[in-house]
Structure 1
Amino acid sequence: MNLLTQCCVLLLLPLVLCDRLQDKMYTPISGSICFRRLNATHSTGCGSTLGGSVGVLHLIQSPADFEFVWNKPPAPPYTLLMAPWLFNRENILNITGRAKGNIAGIVLIENGTNLASYSHELKCPNPNSGLKNQTCDAKQAWNPFGTGLLHENFPFPIIYVKEQNYIKNLTDCYHKFNTYDVENQHNRRLCSIQIKSFMSAAVNSAVCTRRTRYINNMNPQRYCDPLQSKNVYATLFERPKELKSENLILVGARIDTTSMFDGIGLGAMDSLVPAVTLMSTAHTLNKLLADHITGKNYNVVFMLFNGEAYDYIGSQRFVYDLVNNAFPSSSNNTIKLSDIKLFIDIGSLDSQNSTTIYQFDKFDLADKFASLFDATIKQYSFNFEVNRKMTTNLPPTSAQSFLRDDNKFPAVILYSDNNKNRFYHSIYDAEQNIDFVYQNTSRDFTTLIDLTEKTTMVPSIQLAVRNVSTSLAHSLYELVTGASYTEHFGANPYLIDEMLYCYLVSAKCPLFQATIKDANMTIPPIPPNRYISVQNPVSYETVGWTLRVLGFLTGRPVPSATKDNCTVFPLVWVSGFNHTGECLRTTHDLSNALSPAFSIEDYDWKSGRYSTWTESTWSEINVRIFLKPAVSQEAFTLAIGFGVMLISFILVFIINTKSDVLFGESTSSINVLTLPSQC
């Protein structure tokens, strides 16, 4: 080994040893963080201090255990380790009030407890973005189980840990070091946790956006970004390219969901069931009208709105674009709000055997639709009850955006009156909440089923969605064609089965594989994240899959086209159910789901006209546990450090002043330097 190699090894050795020492000192913990969002008036969510919030772990197992942190605990601040059932409004507001200064953070650990309800959304979602003068209170709440914690601002970080190995690390560390001699905790080392999740944004969206717009080359940091994504839509028939008025029926639902924690929350009941109902309806109607495309009274637009959880971002932007002749953005023949003769808004379908058709105002087409819808249900004995309600208090759905702009807008809302979703906008609104069991059959899900044949599928969410989407498709068929549907084909429950599996369990599923060019493409075996988020590739994951699925289900085959000449939109090549490949002529597309507040110059943030939600930026998320020494030990270590520093200064001073005595003078070197150069 040469000298240079030896020197490099000696230089790198301390770095290697430091890494190993750090690994011994800290144990990383992985989980989902609560992060900060802002609107025009305030900020919500959580965040740590700039260097990370450090607290001693303390396990809360019952409400009585909170007394420990409220009554002058011995070694504050503490980070509370608790099960989600204890994370309720009463306990958390007591923590932020009575234990202020004693709490450094909260770690929620999944313990498998069956919860009766768990929703951190408001009891009246989006209260300031719909029709004015609506009544929503504790007696008449759309989300009676809501705690509102999703809209609170917490002065400390909160993290949700689901993996059992990390939970074991946390609890083992706590029990080993923190459970004995509690009164004298401050005199010994304790198991502690550092949560680093500093949020750059503060105050509200107006302040944060203004600070971000002041970015320059010296300070390129962004503080927050607006919540935005894309709406996904498709038309039943191709729209004319020339300018002309149209008669349109709009069928809408929301595709997004949310929860308090990043990347956790599938929104099975709150939004996925309505979205799947819409896509199943689109597929069924497209099949029913495959050979009946002449003499139509209406065209149908199927629209999946994004960002509806945050003051109806997607539908607000859609209405704004319609009013300003900006939809579709890629066409000269734009749609006007007056072109829409009926809007069928598929809201929450909590109940599998009943729904209510809500209306704000009476109009003939709504009566006709309701009559056709109810008649189809009765014709096939779907065991599904339909009620009607004319009221000024409407459910929190996308129709609010249209009616706020024009309260005479022809909208009807399908919404369950039962309010059975006890996990609205939470981490527990998953497949178990809708009793979903994947059938995992090899049956062709691209065809329709004969409703006169007895199904082998047991009563389930798949059959409930089939019943609603079949009734919708048959009703739309008669509205579009003006003729009665005389056959007996309906929605395929196995298609619904596949859609629910793809969005709730794994994106690596037969339906998603059928919508892409190469069915062998690597797809991660996790469900897509349906939180709207900010403009980034991850937030568009759900948009991409939904666009492909909607195009696949509403596209019409072009048998004469090959893969080589099926490359220019609206022609799209897909692998298909059998992975043999086929060319489809599609009408699917995207539109902006960005609040107009961020597009209007000098927008009045205090007006409350449009959604103003933003999301804070952050640079690092890091959680780790370690042994924190006693205060006395920390003070002793600090004192030794100061002592060594003072002694070092004194020694350097003495050596420097006595250097001539200690080292002598090098006269020869001085003489050499002063000699003149010889020529």
Structure 2
Amino acid sequence: MLRGRKCIKEQNVALRILNDESFAKKVGGVVVESGTNISSQAKGFSPVEKFPEAKFAPYQNLNYEWNPAGSSIMLNNYNFPVFLLSQDSTLVLQEIADKNDKNKKAYTVDVAEFNLIMQTTKAGTHDSESCLKEQSCLPLGGYRQLFGAVEMKDSRDIVPTALPKTLLTLISSFIRRALPNYSNRLEQASNRAQLRLRTIDSLNFRERRLPTLLFVADVDHQGNQGRRFVFDEESDDDYQEGSVMSSLPPINITSSKRSKPIILAVASMDSASFFRDKSLGADSPLSGMISLLAAIDALSHIDALSELNKQLIFLICTGEAWGYLGSRRFLAELDMHTDAVDGLNGTLVEMILEVGSTGKSFTQGVNSFFTHSAGDASTTNKTLIAFKNACESLGSETIKISTAKISNPGIPPSSMMAFLSKNSSTSGIVLEDFDTAFLNKFYHSHLDDLSNVNSSSIVAAASLVARTLYILASGKKESSTSELNSINVNSSLVEELLGCLLTCEPGLSCGLVKDYITPTNTCPNHYVGVLMGAPSSKPYLAYVSDVSRFLWNFLADRTSSKEDRSSVCSEDCSSKGQVCIRTEPAGKGTCVVSTTRYIPAYSTRLKFDSDSGTWSVLPPNSSDPMGMVDPVWTESFWDEIQLRVYTVQSATYDRFILAGGIAVTVLAYLTIVATRAMVTKALKRD
């Protein structure tokens, strides 16, 4: 029965359910309301740990709280589903719940019924290894999967039958949030814990367009009991989203000249959330990615890029929210010298500059950024000096760059952890908008949306990154003021990217995106998705997500040699080193010289068998420290999710009718017996 509307913190309810067995038995499901003002009212909501991905940290202090708002509720087991409503559906269910509360003595009541079956539950594959073997799930990573939403069916006709099998109790609303453009749609998130996962996840190929519900398993290296949870989502089409790599200027893989030292700039493109379809990650990590994209755009307008003393490589990773899948796979591809990294020598990487959260640096009129460093002190000091020179060249008192406190245990959760795990002597700096703890109170939450970032902060970070990269790549002790002043970030581009990647209006239908691709969805989502088929640096583009395809085209365009644009193309280019961009809008593209590639992102513990088309889980390898603790997440197949609201007779009324019927029957029987006795007696007298 749909009951009650209480403004309760989601994590408090989740924790009570976990700790109060009697209360948990009364909960058939949870429906979470959406609203327009929850972000400003909430003190903070982060469903992940206080130290996200702590097991991958390259240092020992794993109790440090980088994420003070973290509650870890996303990694718990729940015996019921959790549904996130759109604004319109919220209004409908509020009305129904209020009606039920007011009409406690009414003979009818409104109830909700859901249909939510995961294939892993049906098949009895209770862990990732078995679900991959039985082909009832797919591994997270690779190339993203996008989803639409299912409409909530509101059926008000009275159903004079027994109560439905599953009733959802409305314990709304812990969290309210606006979900633009989702009229009458119900976004669902389900946290059902019939499954207890004890081994690692695996994968299996699944047919495109098959709806899937997130089913993830976390297994430690000792095979202890894992944790499962589900995010909200309804599937429309399945897409793959992988990491994207590019370089400036393009790498000439046919040249015999000695390769230059490499400056590697890194950002992340995926986020996570308790409700998977609402994984926007505006501040963490999208603000950093947008800063890097804007910096690349600014650098692309510089003349004589080929004269730089060092090679700039850009890597935008996916799967970082799920065990640093993208960065770890990138390093594995380097070791194996695959086509995805052809022409790139990992031993030449001199410095790594990662752009983390940059959307919340603006406080009290100043954009304050912090550098978290690791590795060789002399190399990192050069980068710190480059940052300070870049900051001074901007000539603005509203932008400040500082080094993070030495009391920090090390670098914050970031892709840099994967590089340090591979080689502890790797030199790198992570640029963040915080010093000792996240400023983002909605880290890995569905509330980390556009309202949670400041565009001027992102522009300031992009300016710092662009000029710092130029200083490092030029190799000069001092760059001239005129050179640095020629590097200017396009603030309009930043605003456009924010609208395209973090909203539904215009969303992926914005002019910038449609200039490169024909989007299949309007509302963006930055959940990593699943890997379909064989991993490849040249994936089947019909399976590649809108965001990945846009990033690939954008980077290929911005990093290409402007003078080498040539023939019209539809798919491939004849010359080596060329790629075909903008093929979707008009069916014809242009060949450009660019070193831009897709890099599949998936666990280093997974192996794909091209003959059988299946995946297997590799045993832990001591040479892969992160693989030793890798959960190897997977996602279950699932059928169409449905939730409908309709009216039934109340149980009390049914019992009253039953009692009345029994009473009438008994009275009728007694009347008949008495009447027969009277008639018999009367006949005997006659």
Letter in 2 for 1:410: S
- Do the aligned partners of 1:280 and 1:495 also contact (CA within 8 Å) in 2? yes
Cα pair distance change 1:579/1:431, threshold 3 Å: farther
Aligned to 1:587: 595
Aligned to 1:29: none
Aligned to 1:163: 87
- Aligned pair partner of 2:562 in 557, 567, 583: 557
> 2:430, 2:357 → 1: CA distance?
9
Letter in 2 for 1:369: T
Cα pair distance change 1:514/1:342, threshold 3 Å: same
Cα pair distance change 1:638/1:235, threshold 3 Å: farther
- 5 Å matches for 1:65-144? 83=7, 86-98=8-20, 99-112=23-36, 113=38, 114-137=41-64, 141-144=65-68
> 2:379, 2:46 → 1: CA distance?
36
Aligned to 1:198: 117
Deviation at 1:408, TM superposition (A): 0.9
- Aligned pair partner of 1:430 in 441, 449, 456: 449
Letter in 2 for 1:384: I
Any idea what SS the aligned residue of 1:103 has? coil
> 1:573, 1:539 → 2: CA distance?
15
- Do the aligned partners of 2:271 and 2:281 also contact (CA within 8 Å) in 1? yes
Aligned to 2:422: 405
Letter in 2 for 1:502: C
- Aligned pair partner of 2:277 in 255, 263, 267: 263
- Do the aligned partners of 2:380 and 2:429 also contact (CA within 8 Å) in 1? yes
> 1:573, 1:128 → 2: CA distance?
40
Deviation at 1:351, TM superposition (A): 0.9
Task: State the TM-score, normalized to the length of structure 2.
Answer: 0.68
- 2:157 is the counterpart of 1:238: no
Deviations 1:157-183 (A, max 9, x none): 00010232x2232122223344334xx
Any idea what SS the aligned residue of 1:500 has? helix
Deviation at 1:471, TM superposition (A): 3.0
Aligned to 2:98: 175
Cα pair distance change 1:196/1:581, threshold 3 Å: closer
> 1:270, 1:564 → 2: CA distance?
37
Deviation at 1:469, TM superposition (A): 3.4
Higher relative contact order (CA 8 A, sep 6+): 2
Any idea what SS the aligned residue of 1:258 has? coil
RMSD: 3.5
Moved more, 123-132 or 603-612: 603-612
Deviation at 1:552, TM superposition (A): 1.8
Cα pair distance change 1:611/1:305, threshold 3 Å: farther
- Do the aligned partners of 1:466 and 1:492 also contact (CA within 8 Å) in 2? no
Deviations 1:351-375 (A, max 9, x none): 1311221123333222112112111
Letter in 2 for 1:189: T
Aligned to 2:371: 357
Any idea what SS the aligned residue of 1:100 has? helix
Any idea what SS the aligned residue of 1:486 has? helix
Cα pair distance change 1:126/1:334, threshold 3 Å: same
Moved more, 99-108 or 623-632: 623-632
> 1:210, 1:366 → 2: CA distance?
42
Aligned to 1:500: 498
Moved more, 612-621 or 299-308: 612-621
> 1:529, 1:565 → 2: CA distance?
28
> 2:394, 2:9 → 1: CA distance?
46
Any idea what SS the aligned residue of 2:493 has? helix
> 2:424, 2:445 → 1: CA distance?
32
Deviations 1:603-628 (A, max 9, x none): 23997343512222211211111223
Cα pair distance change 1:115/1:612, threshold 3 Å: same
Cα pair distance change 1:222/1:371, threshold 3 Å: same
Aligned to 1:509: 510
- Aligned pair partner of 2:349 in 340, 343, 366: 340
- Do the aligned partners of 1:376 and 1:474 also contact (CA within 8 Å) in 2? no
Gaps of 5+ in 1: 1-55, 62-82, 216-220, 437-459, 641-679
- Do the aligned partners of 1:478 and 1:484 also contact (CA within 8 Å) in 2? no
- Do the aligned partners of 1:514 and 1:577 also contact (CA within 8 Å) in 2? yes
> 2:447, 2:525 → 1: CA distance?
14
Aligned to 1:24: none
Deviations 1:547-595 (A, max 9, x none): 1111122122246624259950614344999999865322110112001
Cα pair distance change 1:161/1:368, threshold 3 Å: same
> 2:387, 2:341 → 1: CA distance?
34
> 2:646, 2:545 → 1: CA distance?
37
- Do the aligned partners of 1:313 and 1:611 also contact (CA within 8 Å) in 2? no
Letter in 2 for 1:589: R
Structure index of larger Rg: 1
Deviation at 1:100, TM superposition (A): 2.1
Cα pair distance change 1:587/1:121, threshold 3 Å: same
> 2:570, 2:101 → 1: CA distance?
69
> 2:627, 2:352 → 1: CA distance?
27
Cα pair distance change 1:560/1:209, threshold 3 Å: closer
Deviations 1:440-494 (A, max 9, x none): xxxxxxxxxxxxxxxxxxxx34542443334334323433898646332222112
Deviations 1:299-341 (A, max 9, x none): 111000101111111111112222x33344463x4533x2211
Gaps of 5+ in 2: 144-241, 533-541, 608-615, 661-686
Letter in 1 for 2:321: A
- 5 Å matches for 1:137-536? 137=64, 141-164=65-88, 166-181=89-104, 188-201=107-120, 208-215=127-134, 222-229=136-143, 230-236=242-248, 237-241=250-254, 246-288=260-302, 290-294=303-307, 296-322=308-334, 324-329=335-340, 331=342, 333=343, 335-336=345-346, 338-349=347-358, 350-352=360-362, 353-382=367-396, 383-389=398-404, 392-417=409-434, 419-436=438-455, 460-461=456-457, 463-479=459-475, 484=480, 486-487=482-483, 488-489=485-486, 490-505=488-503, 506-516=507-517, 521=518, 523=519, 526-535=522-531
Aligned to 2:620: 604
> 2:409, 2:91 → 1: CA distance?
52
> 1:170, 1:195 → 2: CA distance?
14
Aligned to 2:545: 540
Letter in 2 for 1:491: V
Deviation at 1:115, TM superposition (A): 2.1
- Do the aligned partners of 1:279 and 1:553 also contact (CA within 8 Å) in 2? no
Any idea what SS the aligned residue of 1:133 has? coil
Identity %: 20
Any idea what SS the aligned residue of 1:275 has? helix
Deviation at 1:543, TM superposition (A): 1.2
> 2:290, 2:530 → 1: CA distance?
24
Any idea what SS the aligned residue of 1:279 has? helix
- Do the aligned partners of 2:292 and 2:462 also contact (CA within 8 Å) in 1? no
Letter in 2 for 1:563: V
- Do the aligned partners of 2:295 and 2:465 also contact (CA within 8 Å) in 1? yes
> 2:262, 2:294 → 1: CA distance?
19
> 2:137, 2:67 → 1: CA distance?
32
- Do the aligned partners of 1:278 and 1:469 also contact (CA within 8 Å) in 2? yes
- Do the aligned partners of 2:283 and 2:453 also contact (CA within 8 Å) in 1? yes
Cα pair distance change 1:554/1:298, threshold 3 Å: same
Cα pair distance change 1:246/1:206, threshold 3 Å: farther
> 2:352, 2:441 → 1: CA distance?
28
Deviation at 1:535, TM superposition (A): 2.6
